[in-house]
Structure formats: structure tokens, C-alpha cells
Amino acid sequence: MLDRLEAMPLIDHHCHGVLPRDLERAEFERYLTEAATVTPLGGSMFDTQAGFALRRWCAPVLDLEPHAAPDDYLARRTELGAAEVNRRFLAAAGLAALCVDTGYIPEPLLEPAELGRLADAPAYEIVRLEQAARTAVGAKSIAAYRAGLELAGERPGEAEITAAAGRLLRADGPPRVCDEVLHRFLIWCAADLGLPVQFHVGYGDADTDLRRGDPLLLTGLLRALAPTGTPVLLLHNYPFHRNAGYLAQVFPNVFVDAGLATHNLGQRAPALIAELLELAPFGKVLYSSDAFGLAEFFHLGALLFRRGLARLLAEGVAEGAWAERDAVRVAGMITAGNARRIYRLRS
């Protein structure tokens, strides 16, 4: 089953750019997990599931032994240079297509076209709802980071929108969309445009308030959006992935993935994938890496996802719970078929 999955190109329906420059150890550690800061009190971020998985699976791509020590890993990374490192990991991921979120660029990152060139696969753009782009295949909401996911179901009225926009414009400092009304308004705009809407859900960095990132908070909005047929894609979801699976089952237009969490859980990724696939129908589950900054995550996310899914499917076949042909069909749906259908991708 793993052989079959390794032969299946993945569509990574949510990822970001990677850094085009070399990194010192402290910087690398900060990119390695969602940690706010790294301090001696808490130890190295290499001592995490993500760090252990990276040393196991990324070291050989750089011609090192598995489990190479962190300093050896970083020395080899610098020796090869960022361009070669990025090339190797994007190629290793085995992608059929990428949908790149271009809405968060704290420092220069590789552009979608360049990522696509390295991956030898078409790269599509996902835009933040606050922006506009004729060529995007989807829009992304970061309401979880701003207003929380408890968005009302009703489409906001014009007076409500004008008032909220006025408050935003009159506020001091750079404008930051924290108003629930404006997030809702933008989501309905995307629905009008027929664009699939991705939501950041659950796991993220220390700036998120995880309690306000539970996908169940979206229930009213999902109920209101269902009749429009707008695909809603719940990203990441951990530790609320079972809640997300429930929503994917009961609402016809809701889809889920386990991006970001997959590589952060490392050796435990199979448990996450198995729990996600409890209530979520197999036609509702997608792959994403949510890779950001480090090219390693393209490889690690793809590898851990393939291995975790292969284990679940192979166990089911071995126990007679499902036929092998069904398992292979489900693998094809989850690796690429579902994403291709939902985003109407050409490849």
C-alpha cells in the first residue's frame, strides 16, 4: 500500500512560500514549530516530534545518515545552499499541483511560480479574502486569528458593513480587520464569486486563541452557506480534527485536512490521520502541508501523510475491513482526486 501511495502524486491544496536564504540554528528552530520563542528553559525545538521526524526523513535527502545531529544537519544545509536544499525537498514531495497561500509574507519567500518550477507541478494561488485576484483558485479566511470563528450565519446588511468599515478606517495604526461583520462580509463575497473558502482552524502559533479556533463555532455560518454550494475547506484542525470530521459529514460543502499538524506530530501523525478519517467521508478529505519557510516541510508533510494513510488503509485490508481496490481508490481520492474536483484544477 505504501508503494502505491508513493507512486501517487499529491495535490498540496494549502502551502506557503519557503525562504530563499540560509539559516542560523536559532532561526531554523523558530521556523521548526509554532513556538513563540525558544529559550533554554524549554530546551531545543529539535527535541520535538517535528524535530525528530525532520532528522529522520530530511537528513537522507541532504545525503546524511538518518538521525543526524542538529548541528551536522544545519552545517550540511548551509554547505548545499538554500537553492539546492529547496530544489531537493520540493522534488522529493512528489506533487501533482500546489495551491499557495500568498497572504502572509513577513520576509521574502519563493513565489508560487518558482515553487511550481522546483516541484515540477502547476502552482495555483490562494488569496486572502481581504485581497482580490482574478487568477486565484480559492480564498483564505484568517478570522480565527482576528475575530475568532464564532461568525454569525446571516449575510451582513449594507448598513452593518458600512459601519464596520468606517470603524476600521477611523482606527489608529495600520488597519487590521478584527470585526466579525467584515470577516463575514468577505466570506459571502467569496461565495458570490464561486470561490472555495479555506479557513484557518485550530492549531497555529501563539498569536491565535485556540479556543476561538474550534470549527464548531462555524456551525451557523456553515448551515447558511450550505445552500450556496460554496466549498468550505477547514485547514489544520488539530486538536479539533474530530469536530471537523463531524462537520464534513453533516454539511455537504465542508472539507477537511490535517495540514501543519501532520509534520508537527511526526511519528504520531498516523494517529491524527486515523482520527480525522472517523466521521469525515473519504470524499471530503484533502492533503495539505501548510509548509511555511522551510522547504523540508513539503517533503515531511507529504511523506508522513502518505505513510500514515498507507498504514490505515493497509491495516484495514489486512483485517479484511475493506477490499484492496477500495483502499487504492480512497487513496487516489484523498491524495489528489478530491482537490482536483473541488478547486476545478486542470491537472
The interface with its own copies within residues 13-72 (CB under 8 A) comprises 33-39, 41-45, 47-49, 52-53, 55-56, 66-67
Q: Which of 3, 107, 172, 319 binds its own copies (CB under 8 A)?
A: 319
Angle at 143 between CA 271 and CA 105, to 5 degrees: 85
Rounded Cα–Cα distance for residues 253 and 259 (Å) = 19
How many residues touch its own copies under the rule CB under 8 A: the total is 76
d(CA 203, CA 240): 9
Closer to its own copies by Cβ: residue 66 or 157 = 66
Task: Mark the segment that binds its own copies (CB under 8 A) among 95-103, 181-189, 289-297, 337-345.
Answer: 337-345
Q: Which residues in 95-154 contact its own copies (CB under 8 A)?
A: none
Beta bridge partners of 256: 234, 285
Look up cell 508533510; give the residue.
301
Q: Exactly one of 282, 328, 340, 345 binds its own copies (CB under 8 A); which one?
A: 282
Per-residue string for binding with its own copies, 258-277, x by CB under 8 A? ------xxxxx--xx-xx-x
Name the residue nearer to its own copies (CB basis): 16 or 55.
55
Give the shortest CB-119-to-its own copies separation in angstroms. 26
| Residue closer to its own copies (CB basis): 27 or 130 | 27
Stretch touching its own copies by CB under 8 A, among 103-111, 133-141, 180-188, 211-219? 211-219
Other Cβ atoms less than 10 A from the Cβ of 122: the count is 17
Whose Cβ is closer to its own copies: residue 139's or residue 330's? 330
Q: Does the protein bind its own copies through residue 211 (CB under 8 A)?
A: yes
Sign of the torsion formed by the C-alpha atoms of 201, 191, 283 and 113: negative
Q: Residue 332 interacts with its own copies (CB under 8 A)?
A: no
Q: How would DSSP label each residue in 193-257?
A: HT--EEEEES---TTS-GGGG-GGGGHHHHHHHGGGT--EEEEE-TTSHHHHHHHHHHSTTEEE-
Smallest gap, in angstroms, from Cβ of residue 46 to its own copies? 9
Indicate whether 231 belongs to the interface with its own copies (CB under 8 A).
Answer: yes
Tell whether residue 246 is a contact of its own copies (CB under 8 A): yes
242, 314, 332, 340: which one binds its own copies (CB under 8 A): 242
Determine if 283 is a binding residue for its own copies (CB under 8 A).
yes
Helix ranges, the chain (H): 2-6, 25-32, 49-57, 70-80, 82-92, 112-119, 143-146, 158-170, 180-193, 219-225, 241-250, 261-265, 269-276, 296-318, 324-332, 338-343
